[in-house]
Structure 1
């Protein structure tokens, strides 16, 4: 489940950094200095908001997690990341274009907001990873609940999480790649 949260972090941070760097080229309406300062403040606010939104829902779903059954379909980390990025590629492109386009008004601010959203997702995945380590179990979302218009791993379609041991799958707690091979 933290894998799906973390899947958007890297593309948002990289696209945001690229848009902020390219956004420094035009002077914009406000000037570069004001644009960068406003963008830095917006970066911090966006990171805090994205990291904090829906924490109550995540906590409630984590508390009611049931053990994964034999017939539950749980995807590998790479498949989940690839699926999320393919499903959201047009939104990522539109977000990049909007961030770059906003540079003509406020240089670098839109890109820094985008990067802040990516940092917020990474912080949320790290928070979920700490909860997984404390509980001694990886949390999973059923694949069929993620595919619909449910709003992600804490959306309306998700009625509960599944849990497995921390050695299951190819993801470490928090959605990162497992550094060592999983025991057989």
Structure 2
């Protein structure tokens, strides 16, 4: 489940950083200094907002989690990430283009908002990973319940759990390093 949350972090962070760097070279209407300072404040605000949104729902679903059965279809980490990124590629491209275009008005702010959303998703995945490590389980969402890449959508009734060594994902959705 944390894999779905974490899947959007990198595709938002890196284009946001690139868009903010473009904004650092464009004077814009407000000027570079004001734009980058406003962007830094928006980065922190966006990261905090994204990291905290729906955490109560995640907690409720995790509290009602049941052990994964033989009939549950649980996807590989790479497949989940690839499906999320393919399903959101046009949205991500549009967000990047808007962030770059906003640099001509408020330099760097749009890119830093996009990067803040990516950082917030990463922070949320880290919080979920801490809960997984504390509970000594991995939380999964059945693939037939995932609604447009939302791990806490209306169709998700409860999470499934497996042992912490199941699958190819570590707690928090990171890649499991095999030795």
Q: TM-score, normalised by structure 2?
A: 0.98
For residue 17 of structure 1, what is the aligned residue in structure 2? 17
Over aligned residue pairs, what C-alpha RMSD do you find? 0.9
Q: Is 1:154 matched up with 2:148? A: no
Partner of 1:165: 163
Deviation of 1:22 (Å)? 1.1
3-state SS of paired residue (2:170): coil
Give 1:110's aligned residue. Answer: 110
Deviation beyond 4 Å, 4+ runs, structure 1: none
SS at match of 1:119: helix
Q: Matched residues in 1 for 2:124 and 2:42: separation? A: 18
Q: CA deviation at 1:25?
A: 2.2
Match of 2:54 in 1: 54
Deviation at 1:37, TM superposition (A): 0.2
Aligned partners of 1:152 and 1:100: how far apart in 2?
27
Task: Give the TM-score normalised by the residue count of structure 1.
Answer: 0.95
Q: For 1:82, what is the secondary structure of its paired residue?
A: helix
State the SS of the aligned residue for 1:172: coil
Number of residue pairs matched?
179
SS at match of 2:151: helix
Q: Which structure 1 segments of 5+ residues have no match?
A: none
Residue aligned with 1:139, SS:
strand
1:178 and 1:7 map into 2 onto residues whose CA distance is 15
The alpha carbon displacement at 1:23 in A equals: 1.6
Q: Which residue of 1 aligns with 2:145?
A: 145
Shift of residue 170 of structure 1?
Answer: 0.2
